[in-house]
């Protein structure tokens, strides 16, 4: 009989504690951790000129216009060109499209600034990993590749980089791994190991150039952020020395910009030393230097449509 | 011995009976709808969690804001990034009570009044709304529709898209409860 009383008492106590539990605690206990994706590491598929880990979502069309003006200072800048505004170093117009939420493709026409001009580009980007809010996946990783063909008339001089003996001489490629993390809602950082291959290059230049890029964004407000982007190309000393001796020094592209979002449009107002817009050229053929006033205004406009 | 078994059985029954005062819904459906002449926007989630105590009439809803799905992905991004700021305010929570709760152990359809506080975008606001509770086979399910004025929760819409987003959005809640174990 004693046992029964004890049991009864135990049961009553158990019931009592159960009744005390609030609904809030009950729901809290039930909560399953879901791996929700981290959104908007960047507001656009580009950091400045180079790619961000973002891809377009399924059935999204992105119409993009990028423009680099002429040198702001130095020999070709100053008031006579209205600080470079009278000249256009490079222009790109492109349509890009999301096939799935992780895979996008695009085609673009770029004026080109470097050895080759009249560039037609085909690109693809795939999001391999998506950072999640609970750090189940701590990084976003995307893979980007493009191939570019030049439509320009071949040079008559056989030693020129723009002399095309065969069609394949017109081609160049970029392959890139984009590793990014949104550290806080306002800070995103990105590493970009990059490989550029040009089928035809000038004397002492390199067909293959590896580079490491770094980029980031610091958001000031919900819709305005500061962007930074830098690429360090690994060139052979021999190649660097040759171009230096020729007075055609190569520089590393460094750019800063503002990211401005207005709901559907993303504007970038940029400031950088590279004249070219495509990776195939700005990583390998940047010959203008910040220190000599050879930097320029530029802008990117992105308009996304959901089809 | 026989007495003991009877008593234990009685206890279990009592326990089971008690447990049925508290009901849970782990896949509470929530959706909202914004209608303007320019554009209709709607988003849904079924990842809300809700609990109800039919004895005391207490109600509790919790949903992670970033689980709402939109037809247009870019809208979803803007919803989280610019409007609801789900990084800063990850959950929407409603804590309330049924005003004079009917006996929800009995099957039937009940029109009830709910009194509570909605915490959304870091702003708490009291709401008095109506809901329908249907009890079938001892299990309640609840439906409610109410309006949320964005300005009440300090959700700012920029002038550029003010024509696309309604000032007041209609929220629909659907929860089918099971006994909490």
| Contact residues, chain A, for B81 at CB < 8 Å | 39-40, 222
Q: What is the pLDDT of residue A19?
A: 47
In chain B, DSSP assigns E strands to: 22-35, 40-53, 58-64, 69-70, 91-99, 108-120, 123-136, 139-149, 168-176, 178-179
Indicate the residue of A3, A26, A39 with minimum beta-carbon distance to B80.
Answer: A39
Domain count for chain B: 1
Q: What is the pLDDT of residue A5?
A: 60
| Contact residues, chain B, for A11 at CB < 8 Å | 11, 14-15
Range of the domain at B119: 21-179
A225 has pLDDT over 50? yes
CA distance A249 to A233: 13
What length is written for chain B?
181
Q: Under an 8 A CB cutoff, do B49 and A223 touch?
A: no
CATH of the domain at B82: 2.40.128.110
Nearest CA in chain A to B85: A222
Half-sphere exposure of A143 (CA within 13 A, CB side): 4
A20 has pLDDT over 60? no
CA distance A91 to A111: 5
Q: Under an 8 A CB cutoff, do A36 and B24 touch?
A: no
Q: What is the pLDDT of residues B76-122, one digit of tens each?
A: 999 998 899 988 899 999 999 999 888 888 899 999 999 999 999 99
B18 has pLDDT over 60? no
- Chain A 239-268, CB below 8 Å of chain B: which residues? 261-264
Q: Mean pLDDT over all residues of chain B? A: 88
Q: What is the pLDDT of residue A29?
A: 77
pLDDT bucket at A302, cuts 50 / 70 / 90: very high
SS3 A272: strand
The conformation of residue B55, written as its DSSP 8-state character, comes to T
Mean pLDDT of A143-164: 94
The residue extents of the domains of chain A are 36-306
Judged by a CB distance cut-off of 8 A, whether residue A17 touches chain B is no
A14 has pLDDT over 50? no
Q: What is the pLDDT of residues A180-208, one digit of tens each?
A: 999 999 999 999 999 999 999 999 999 99
Q: Mean pLDDT over all residues of chain A? A: 90
Range ranked top by mean pLDDT from A58-62, B35-39, B158-162? A58-62
Does residue B15 sit within a domain?
no
| Contact residues, chain A, for B47 at CB < 8 Å | 34
Indicate the residue of A26, A60, A263 with minimum beta-carbon distance to B158.
Answer: A263
Q: Around Cβ B131, how many Cβ atoms within 10 Å?
A: 19
A12 has pLDDT over 70? no
The gap from C-alpha A303 to its chain's centroid, in whole angstroms, comes to 16
Half-sphere exposure of A113 (CA within 13 A, CB side): 22
Does residue B72 sit within a domain?
yes
Does residue B16 sit within a domain?
no
CATH for A36-306, options being 2.60.40.180, 2.40.160.40, 3.80.10.10, 3.90.850.10: 2.40.160.40
Q: What is the pLDDT of residues B38-80, one digit of tens each?
A: 889 999 999 999 999 988 999 999 999 999 999 888 889 999 9
Give pTM, 2 decimals. Answer: 0.83
Longest dimension (CA), chain A: 111
pLDDT bucket at A27, cuts 50 / 70 / 90: confident
Mean pLDDT of A164-169: 94
A283 has pLDDT over 50? yes
Q: What is the pLDDT of residue A7?
A: 54
Q: What is the pLDDT of residue B74?
A: 86
B15 has pLDDT over 60? no
Q: What is the pLDDT of residues A242-257, one digit of tens each?
A: 999 998 899 999 999 9
Q: What is the pLDDT of residue A136?
A: 92
ipTM of the prediction: 0.76
Mean pLDDT of A114-122: 95
Q: Nearest CA to A26 among B21, B138, B180, B114?
A: B180
B3 has pLDDT over 70? no
Q: Which residues of B touch A (CB under 8 A)?
A: 3-4, 7-8, 11, 14-15, 18-19, 22, 24, 26, 47, 49-53, 58-60, 62, 64, 66-67, 71-74, 76-78, 80-82, 85, 87-88, 95, 158, 160-161, 180
Paired tokens of A154: 């071949």
A80 has pLDDT over 80? yes
| Contact residues, chain B, for A263 at CB < 8 Å | 78, 82, 158, 160-161
Mean pLDDT of A96-113: 96
Task: Give the end-to-end CA distance of chain B in Å, rounded to a whole number.
Answer: 29
pLDDT above 90 coverage of chain B, percent? 61
Number of inter-chain CB pairs under 8 A, A vs B: 88
């Amino acid at each position: 009989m004693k046992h029964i009383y004890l049991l009864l008492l135990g049961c009553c106590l158990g019931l009592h504690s159960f009744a005390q539990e609030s609904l809030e605690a009950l729901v809290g206990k039930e909560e399953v951790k879901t791996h929700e994706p981290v959104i908007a590491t960047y507001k656009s598929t580009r950091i400045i000129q180079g790619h961000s880990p973002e891809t377009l979502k399924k059935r999204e069309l992105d119409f993009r216009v990028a423009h680099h003006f002429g040198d702001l200072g130095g020999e070709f800048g100053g008031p006579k060109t209205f600080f470079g505004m009278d000249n256009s170093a490079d222009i790109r117009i492109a349509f890009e499209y999301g096939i799935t939420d992780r895979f996008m493709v695009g085609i673009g026409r770029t004026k080109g600034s470097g050895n080759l001009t009249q560039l037609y580009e085909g690109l693809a980007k795939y999001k391999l990993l998506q950072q999640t809010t609970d750090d189940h996946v701590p990084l976003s990783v995307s893979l980007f590749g493009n191939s570019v063909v030049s439509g320009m008339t071949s040079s008559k001089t056989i030693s020129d980089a723009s002399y095309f003996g065969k069609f394949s001489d017109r081609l160049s490629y970029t392959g890139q791994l984009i590793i990014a993390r949104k550290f806080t809602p306002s800070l995103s950082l990105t590493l970009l190991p990059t490989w550029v291959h040009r089928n035809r290059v000038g004397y002492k230049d390199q067909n293959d150039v590896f580079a490491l890029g770094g980029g980031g964004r610091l958001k000031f407000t919900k819709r305005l952020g500061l962007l930074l982007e830098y690429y360090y190309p690994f060139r052979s000393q021999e190649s660097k020395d040759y171009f230096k001796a020729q007075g055609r020094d190569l520089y590393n592209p460094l750019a800063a910009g503002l990211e401005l979002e207005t709901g559907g449009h993303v504007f970038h107002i940029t400031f950088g030393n590279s004249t070219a817009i495509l990776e195939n050229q700005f990583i390998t053929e940047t010959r203008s230097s910040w220190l000599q006033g050879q930097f320029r205004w530029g802008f990117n406009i992105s308009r996304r449509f959901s089809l | 011995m026989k007495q003991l078994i009877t008593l234990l059985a009685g206890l279990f029954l009592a326990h089971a009976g008690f447990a049925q005062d508290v009901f849970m819904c782990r896949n509470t459906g929530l959706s909202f709808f914004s209608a303007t002449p320019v554009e209709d926007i709607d988003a849904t989630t079924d990842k809300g969690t809700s609990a109800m105590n039919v004895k005391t009439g207490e109600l509790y809803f919790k949903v992670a804001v970033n689980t709402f799905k939109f037809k247009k992905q870019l809208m979803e991004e803007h919803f989280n990034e610019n409007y609801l700021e789900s990084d800063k305010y990850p959950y929407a929570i409603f804590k309330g009570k049924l005003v004079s709760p009917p006996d929800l152990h009995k099957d039937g359809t009940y029109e009830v009044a709910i009194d509570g506080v909605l915490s959304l975008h870091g702003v708490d606001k009291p709401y008095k709304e109506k809901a329908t509770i249907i009890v079938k086979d001892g299990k309640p399910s609840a439906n409610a529709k109410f309006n949320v004025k964005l300005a009440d929760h300090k959700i700012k819409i920029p002038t550029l898209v003010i024509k696309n987003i309604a000032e007041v959005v209609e929220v629909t809640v659907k929860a089918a409860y099971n006994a909490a174990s």
